Amino acid sequence: MIITDDTLREGLQTPGIAFTRFEKLKLASLISAAGVKRALVSYPSAHVSEVEVTREIVKANYFKETFGLGRTLKDDVDTIYSTGANIALHLPFTNERLDEIEEVIRYASNLDRIVEVALIDVVRYSTEDLFRIMKKIIESGADVIQVPDTMGTASPKSMKETIKRIKKNFQVEIEIHCHNDFGGAVANSISAIEAGAEILDASVLGLGERNGIADLGSVNALLKKEGYNTEINEYNLKVLYDYVIELVMSKVGSDHFLNSFPVFGKNVDISTAGTHAASPGVFESKNYSVNVYTGRAMVKQILKSEGIIIDDESLSKLVKRVKDLSADTGKAITRKEIIEMV
């Protein structure tokens, strides 16, 4: 039974949260000490700080398997590869350019790294489309398929049935990644493991986009209760949780825990990932938390809501400045700060 810790990457998408290089490295050290062997630590194409910290984590050999995440683009693959990390890729939020995506996965699979590909919001697919796309991804050379409930709307029953169908038809390792919008992340993750998924993605305190994903401590306790060997050290896990709670309290305060409540919490309607803001029709929210994972589309939307229009060159400079400031300070950047930069 394998648990992937996603605190360093998914956790950075928590509304109001940003990490400095020092905080990321300390987190990596504590996550490793807790017994985690597999971690997704960054989104290297987002900012140079993500590249640098990934290289340091790989060099320190904190994890048996370290991954960086990127889009199914050759440039993203090259950037992740340059860090020494294994390659995790996500599909776009539409089913366009599948031929190009297959080429990118083949390119990545010819490198000396593990290649994992995430489908993106598995509940949106019909069984026919799911199997068609999975077949193409596997034939292109992916070693692991991640099955994410991106919008957090799945149920334990539907997740279990989906994983059972996949495992019946494909010989490939499956990683489960469940969001908590409806409060089902932990239950959905455990159901997926019971149905045959080999890898479970989780984060400390369930930190992540909107109101987060499955909580590491919770899934660890439940899996151990069911007889799975997670290799997690509970004492060191508590040390890790104490540090993350300290970070959360210093950056966003105790309101985080109320705002991250499923269904009704404010964070359910807040996006951080730049790819989400760039996917109209999929993510309807125009409420944003801004850090190094912010993209041009998100900043442009923020400016538009303030009645501000700038040219493309100025937008690129502004986005870089926003990312630099967030990486340096370990803070999310406010709308007021963005307007002052303009």
Assign residue 144 a region (left: φ > 0; alpha: ψ between -120 and 50; beta: otherwise). Answer: beta
Residue 274 pLDDT greater than 90, yes or no? no
According to CATH, where is 3.20.20.70 located in the chain? 2-253
Of 100-114, 147-161, 272-286, the poorest mean pLDDT is in 272-286
pLDDT tens readout for residues 289-307: 999 999 999 999 999 999 9
**Residue 148 contacts residue 178 (beta carbons within 8 Å):** yes
d(CA 282, CA 330) in angstroms, rounded, equals: 29
- pLDDT at position 243, please? 98
Of 6-10, 75-79, 120-124, 247-251, the poorest mean pLDDT is in 120-124
Q: What is the mean pLDDT of the chain?
A: 94
**What CATH architecture does domain 2-253 belong to?**
Alpha-Beta Barrel (3.20)
95 exposure class (CB count in 10 Å sphere: 0-12, 13-18, 19+)? middle
Summarize the confidence of residues 254-277 as an average pLDDT: 89
- pLDDT at position 279, please? 57
Summarize the confidence of residues 32-36 as an average pLDDT: 98
> In a 3-state reduction of DSSP, which class is residue 1?
coil
pTM > 0.85: yes or no: yes
d(CA 251, CA 249) in angstroms, rounded, equals: 6
- Tokens matching residue 73: 């683009």
Q: What is the DSSP string of 33-80?
A: HTT--EEEEE-GGG-HHHHHHHHHHHHHT--SEEEEEEESSHHHHHHH
d(CA 63, CA 230) in angstroms, rounded, equals: 14
Instruction: Give strand pairing partners of 288.
Output: 271
Q: What is the DSSP string of 273-334?
A: -HHHHT-TTT----EE-BSTT--HHHHHHHHHHTT----HHHHHHHHHHHHHHHHHHTBPBP
Assign residue 259 a region (left: φ > 0; alpha: ψ between -120 and 50; beta: otherwise). Answer: alpha
pLDDT band at 92 (very low <50, low <70, confident <90, very high): confident
Identity of the amino acid at 339: I
Residues 6+ apart with CB under 8 A from 331: 18, 251, 291, 325
305 exposure class (CB count in 10 Å sphere: 0-12, 13-18, 19+)? exposed
Residue 284 pLDDT greater than 70, yes or no? no
- Tokens matching residue 55: 């290289």
pLDDT band at 99 (very low <50, low <70, confident <90, very high): confident
Of 93-97, 192-196, 254-258, the poorest mean pLDDT is in 93-97
pLDDT tens readout for residues 164-210: 999 999 999 999 999 999 999 999 999 999 999 999 999 999 999 99
Which residue is listed with tokens 């002052």?
Answer: 340
> In a 3-state reduction of DSSP, which class is residue 6?
coil
- pLDDT at position 152, please? 96
pLDDT band at 273 (very low <50, low <70, confident <90, very high): confident
**Residue 156 contacts residue 188 (beta carbons within 8 Å):** yes
Pairing verdict, β 173-178 and 144-149? parallel
pLDDT tens readout for residues 13-27: 999 999 999 999 999
